[in-house]
Structure 1
Amino acid sequence: MTETPISSRDNPIVKRLKKLAESARARRAAHMTLLDGEHLLAAYLDAGGRPHTLVRAASFDAGRLAPFAARCPQTKAIVLPDALFAELVPVATPTGVLAEAAWLAPPAPAAIQLVVVLEDIQDPGNLGAMLRTAAAAGATMAVLSKGCHDPWSPKALRGGQGAQFVLPMQQGADLVTWLNGFTGRSVALALAEDSDFYALDLNGPLALIAGNEGAGLSAAVCGAATRCAHIPMAGWIESLNASAALAVAVFEAVRQRRR
């Protein structure tokens, strides 16, 4: 592996990487992002992606990066002083490895069986975890509203742990329009509803809808759903975290489909 050392903040590659780390607009314009760490890089390669640039902090062992570089021999590799590398890292605990990578767009299957629909999820960790849950459950698509956090942000990618590479996503969707066009059943997870989620038949084409961490689902999206239901809870806790609620709902659907 041949690496190019770079030490200047004014280097065009460094400037480009910094924009990807900090700006959702830059990521959207380029359809590129930054992957932080060996795990995400391995998942990206396994999904068929080939990074544009590999970036190593000087203190990170080059030998650990060599197997990844061997899988993408055409990829440019650079090494940065630790201080400069730290300026690019978009997460609190950097691993020492970054990859500049194009968004992947896995094709949606012809038969949509299980969809997660997310309205205005703001926390990148929550969004990544929800996409990870959907992928783990075998969901066939995720539909994200215009108000959702950028699923390709470095923090959302860390939360997703590779889910974005394998789960078909529709971003910036008008959820009411999408739900009105969906031919299966849709269930909105809403606290104030009397319908018990566990009593529902969740077989067949299904969309599960989860809302914003604080405000929940909008009235318009609830109205467009086939029905609204709540997850029964014992004790004094009023609600589940949005990510936890989706996980409960998705895997209840999985449980019913295994019978």
Structure 2
Amino acid sequence: MHLITSRENPHVKAWRRLAQDSTAYRKSGQFWLEGDHLCRAALERGVRPLQVVLTESFQLEQGNAWVGLTDQVFVLPDTLFASLSGLESPARMGFVVAWAAENQVLPAVATVVLDRLQDAGNVGAILRCASAFGYRQVLAVKGTAALWSPKVLRAGMGAHFGLQLIESVSPAEVAALHVPLLTTSSHQGPFLHELLRRGELPTQCAWVFGHEGQGVSEYLMAMARLSVRIAQPGGEESLNVATAAAICLHASASAGL
């Protein structure tokens, strides 16, 4: 193990960039995972870190459990680790993991398309739902929050490691999918629960979820085979996009059971 105590150490500066800059992974080819739960989720999916970073307190409690994953294990004072963390409540350990952009769209698998979603929490929550309900691929249209940013990784809770994730996809790549595109609408189309009851909801499909304020773009809406409504008997005007995604993805998954 290597002890580091200086804020000016090159490793500390690099970790701080990865932890606080949402797109730093694209330039460095590495991303930052923070917290033992998220790091364990990565290990369970076969991911191995390039570097392990522990606080002194965590090293005393559990350090032996993380030895052997890599020969680059670093120990920092708790206050120094907290200074590089991007979380309001910093964890006490993290991984640096190699990253490479995916660029091969799988045309015939169940897919989620994210159309310029801005909120990292929403994006991470949708990735988690996609993984839970059997979707294999997520395509992010340019303008969507960075999929491998620390905040999205945190919200995804390990879902990233079971999905094919492709950023900055073009309309042509979405149009080339061999599965039908489905969107949601607050004012037109059949109700989701009625489609499910009649057995008319596709299981192999691509659900498109749009910008929190603007919704799905016109060009993607025009590609959709079906636009559906979610019943809201309580009378709210709309649902949070991550909530709507959970309902839609679960409905399609249920249709195949």
Query: TM-score of the superposition, structure 1-length normalised?
Result: 0.90
When the two chains are superposed, the root-mean-square deviation of aligned CA atoms in Å is 2.1
Listed as ranges, the matches of 1:1-259 within 5 Å are: 3-70=1-68, 72=69, 74-103=70-99, 112-174=108-170, 176-200=171-195, 201-258=200-257
- Taking a change above 3 Å as real, the CA distance of residues 31 and 191 of structure 1, as seen in their structure-2 partners, is farther
Structure 1 residue 109: Cα displacement? 9.7
> How far 1:197 sits from its partner (Å)?
2.3
Distance (whole Å) between structure 2 residues aligned to residue 252 and residue 138 of structure 1: 12
| Structure 1 stretches lacking a partner, 5+ long | none
User: Following the alignment from structure 1 to structure 2, what is the Cα–Cα distance between the partners of residues 61 and 100?
Assistant: 17
Q: Distance in 1 between matches of 2:100 and 2:60?
A: 27
Per the TM alignment, residue 135 of structure 1 is displaced from its structure 2 partner at its CA by 0.3
Shift of 1:204: 4.8
| Greater Cα shift, 165-174 or 188-197 | 188-197
Aligned residues: 253
Residue 22 of structure 1 and its aligned partner are, at CA, apart by 2.0
Tell whether the 8 Å contact from 1:188 to 1:227 is kept in structure 2 after alignment.
yes
CA drift of 1:108 comes to 7.8
The Cα of 1:111 is off from its aligned counterpart by 7.3
Superposed displacement of residue 45, structure 1: 1.3
Cα deviation 1:95-148 (Å, max 9, x = unaligned): 211111123779989773311111111111111110000001110211111111
Q: Deviation at 1:67? A: 1.6
The TM-score with structure 2 as length reference comes to: 0.91
Give the 3 Å change call, closer, same or farther, for CA 105–49 of structure 1 in structure 2: farther
SS for the counterpart of 1:198 is helix
- CA–CA distance in 1 between the matches of 2:106 and 2:24? 32
Whole-angstrom CA distance in 2 between matches of 1:91 and 1:151: 17
Q: Which one-letter code corresponds to 1:197 in the other structure? A: L
CA apart distance, 1:10: 1.4
Structure 2, unpaired ranges of 5+: none
Q: In 2, distance between residues paired with 1:107 and 1:148?
A: 16
Secondary structure at the aligned position of 2:58 is classed as coil
Distance, in Å, in 1 between the alignment partners of 2:188 and 2:173 is 22
Is this contact kept in 2: 1:51–1:75, CA < 8 A?
no
Cα drift, residue 6 of structure 1: 0.7
- In structure 2, the CA distance between the partners of 1:65 and 1:38, relative to structure 1 (3 Å rule), is farther
Q: Distance in 1 between matches of 2:134 and 2:71?
A: 31
Paired amino acid for 1:217: V
Shift of 1:217: 1.1
Q: Give the fraction of aligned pairs with identical amino acids, expressed as a percent.
A: 31
The superposition leaves residues 203-233 of structure 1 with CA deviations (integer Å, 9 ceiling, x where unpaired) of: 3531111111222111121112112111111
1:49, 1:169 → 2: CA distance? 15
| Whole-angstrom distance in 1 between the partners of 2:142 and 2:102 | 20
